[in-house]
Amino acid sequence: MHKGKRTIKIVIGVLSLLFVFFIIWINQATPTNHPVITSVLGQKSNYQSLVNSLSTGKKISVKKIKSANWKVPLSGLLNLDAEAAQHAGLEDHDENIQIYTFHLTHPIHGDFLIDTGISSQFYNDPQSLGIPSWLGSLYGLEKMTALTTTEDYINEQNVALKGVFLTHLHLDHISGMSAINKQVPLYVGQGETQERYFLYAATQGITDIMLEGRPALQEWAADYIDVFGDGSVFAIHSPGHTAGSTAYLVNSIEGPVLFTGDASHTSWGWNHSVEPGSFSTDQIRSRASLNKLIKLVKSYPEISVQPGHQSL
């Protein structure tokens, strides 16, 4: 064989092999390399105990903080191929959403957040958190407008946080992390850090930077967790959007509230039982989780609902 042709064949072979390794590598990416341990807080519980807590659970204070306005493609937030979405003639467009954090005050255990809102560092200088400008543009960070940053809220209210309950590890849910003291314990859903998905290859390094110097993530170790053992707060494993996606049922002084996380980003999705779209890793599990949460609220309509990024 001609020597030149053989060299070309070898180069093509090596490049193909490298490409295969690259594809294998990105498909093995996890959300973070940060250490994770089983949570020391919370007791394993079940659906019936959660239902019983609606009347007997301890009541705690809940505040909603609107941290930012944002616009993202509806096709990411909502499965536009779902029958109800097709029937309603929904088309892809930039949808108005918000980024929240929720402040829980327990009379004995103190102050906690559900998710983190956005910090001024994330808003003003995302590059300092390892977000390159191309990824910021891909995420549409320039379409974000800060309302109340997490540090402004924490400082104004003089909150001494005892922990953060995360619905999942997507960047827009840990975007307030740099405003939170590095000692504060962080809680995630089971399996959240072990999920493998190619898009995590782009975000893993950023999540690692946001979690750097913080304690190991504490993972809820069951489908239902009674967080304080008094029926005030339950973590409900609701996988699909991500493997560890977690909803929280809080028995607030004003009545029970279900924080869905991104099991439903939108009000329309909740009201029409349509699961999230392309932003999820497993649409079929995500549909099952959404239906489980909708069934709970249909059975107990005294529960009010807070979707992940809009208000009902």
Member of 223, 262, 275, 282 binding Zn ion (CB under 5 A): 262
Q: Using the minimum distance from each CB to Zn ion, give the nearer residue, 16 or 194.
A: 194
| 3-class secondary structure, 117 | coil
Which of the stretches 22-30, 157-165, 256-264, 266-274 binds Zn ion when contact is defined by CB under 5 A?
A: 256-264
According to the binding rule CB under 5 A, does residue 195 interact with Zn ion?
Answer: no
Residue 285 binds Zn ion, judged by CB under 5 A = no
> One symbol per residue from 142 to 171: x for binding Zn ion (CB under 5 A), - otherwise; what is it?
----------------------------x-
CB of 62 to Zn ion, least distance (A): 21
When asked if residue 275 is in the footprint of Zn ion (CB under 5 A), the reply is: no
Residue among 262 and 282 whose Cβ is closer to Zn ion = 262
Q: Which of residues 214-243 bind Zn ion (CB under 5 A)?
A: none
Whichever of 109 and 285 has its CB closer to Zn ion, that residue is: 285
Which residue number, 192 or 262, has a Cβ lying nearer to Zn ion? 262
Query: Does residue 106 belong to the site contacting Zn ion (CB under 5 A)?
Result: no
Place of tokens 């975007």: 175
Q: Which helix (H) or strand (E) holds 121?
A: helix 120-124
- Residues paired with 101 in a beta bridge: 65
Closest approach of Zn ion to the CB of residue 226, in Å: 25
Q: Determine which helix (DSSP H) or strand (DSSP E) holds 11, and give its type and residue range.
A: helix 3-27
Least distance in angstroms from the C-beta of 281 to Zn ion: 10
Which three-class secondary structure string do you get for 211-267?
HCCCCCEEECCCCEEECCCCCCEEEEECCCCCCCCEEEEEEECCEEEEEEECCCCCH
Q: What is the closest distance, in whole angstroms, from the C-beta atom of residue 50 to Zn ion in the complex?
A: 23
Tell me whether residue 121 or residue 246 sits nearer to Zn ion (CB atom).
246
* Distance between CA atoms of residues 45 and 41, nearest Å: 13
Rounded least distance, CB 301 to Zn ion, Å: 27
Gap between the Cα atoms of 81 and 274, Å rounded:
10
Both tokens of residue 3?
């020597």
- Asked if residue 309 binds Zn ion (CB under 5 A), the reply is no
141 C-beta neighbours (distance < 10 Å), count: 19
Total chain residues near Zn ion (CB under 5 A)? 2
DSSP 125-192: -GGGGT--HHHHHHHTGGG-EESS-HHHHHHHHT--EEEEE-S---GGGSTTGGGS-TTS-EEE-TTG
Which is closer to Zn ion, CB of 172 or CB of 226? 172
By C-beta, is 103 or 170 nearer to Zn ion? 170
The minimum distance between CB 125 and Zn ion, in angstroms, equals: 22
Q: Which residue is nearest to Zn ion (CB)?
A: 170
* 106 vs 170 by CB, closer to Zn ion: 170
- Kindly report the CA angle at 21 between 19 and 27, in degrees rounded to 5? 105
Q: Determine the Cα–Cα distance for residues 224 and 49; give it in Å rounded to an integer.
A: 9
* DSSP bridge pairs for 68: 99, 146
Stretch that binds Zn ion, among 63-71, 118-126, 212-220, 255-263 (CB under 5 A): 255-263
The residue among 111 and 115 lying less far from Zn ion, judged by its C-beta, is 115
By the criterion CB under 5 A, which residues form the site for Zn ion? 170, 262
